[in-house]
Amino acid sequence: MTGRAGQILRWNLFMGGHLSSCVPVRIVERTDAGQLVWLETGTPMWRTELPRGVHLRDIPPEDRPAGGYPAVADRWPMGSALIHQPFGAGHAVFWFFGRNQKFRGWYVNLEHRTHHGEDIDVTDHELDITVAPNRRWQWKDERSFAEKTGHPAYWSAHEAAAIRAEGERVARLAESKAFPFDGSWREFKPPAHWATPARPATPARTVL
């Protein structure tokens, strides 16, 4: 797999087999072990058009349109993030930044990831971990993770155990202050010449 610093990729997030969002990101660094990508707050993106106030994770797959929901133009609202995506691992780690690029903490997204050219397809595993700047961590979305376990669009009980074990392994890294929780990249600032990426073409598919 090749990739150069500054190259724009598409980060496509799927939940229960349906596209939730498509956001352009830039490669910061790529090694044999994995890659770091930059996601800038306010970046033009696509998201699924859903009933007001409803999140895709809360709509059972059997109640969704067979071809997926249409994608509508939007902007990334959740703050700038540096994302570590270790190759072959079932997670990604986000460094989230607030105003004036101040580090706010880490976020561990448990997921399955595949690469197709310039697309990073991410199947979200619902269960996540938040890690404060002082490295205190806690599980997130345990209830909804348990509710989805056993559904054919999500994961079996056996797979759920492996997903949780992946999270426990990453939590131990935080406890031991090992990378990516060793303090590195907390002062990261993207190069000044990196313009905000343009909104990519309409997603080619909305269903996996």
- Looking up tokens 């348990």 gives 146
pLDDT digits (tens, 9 = 90+) for 33-91: 999 999 999 999 999 999 888 999 999 999 999 999 999 999 999 999 999 999 999 99
Look at phi and psi of residue 149 and say left if phi exceeds 0, alpha if psi is from -120 to 50, else beta.
beta
CA 106 from chain center: how many Å?
Answer: 12
Q: How confident is the model at residue 204 (pLDDT cuts 50, 70, 90)?
A: confident
pLDDT, residue 52, reads 83
Average pLDDT over residues 104-108: 98
Do the Cβ atoms of 20 and 14 come closer than 8 Å? Answer: yes
In this predicted structure, the answer to whether residue 2 has a pLDDT above a threshold of 60 is: yes
In this predicted structure, the answer to whether residue 1 has a pLDDT above a threshold of 60 is: no
Percentage of residues in the chain having pLDDT higher than 70 = 99
pLDDT digits (tens, 9 = 90+) for 5-45: 999 999 999 999 999 999 999 999 999 999 999 999 999 99
Q: Which residues contact 153 (CB under 8 A, 6 or more apart)?
A: 16, 17, 61
Average pLDDT over residues 113-119: 95
pLDDT, residue 92, reads 98
Average pLDDT over residues 112-134: 97
Neighbouring CB atoms inside 10 A of 79's CB total 16
Mean pLDDT of the chain: 96
The CATH fold assigned to 8-175 is FomD barrel-like fold (2.40.380)
pLDDT, residue 100, reads 86
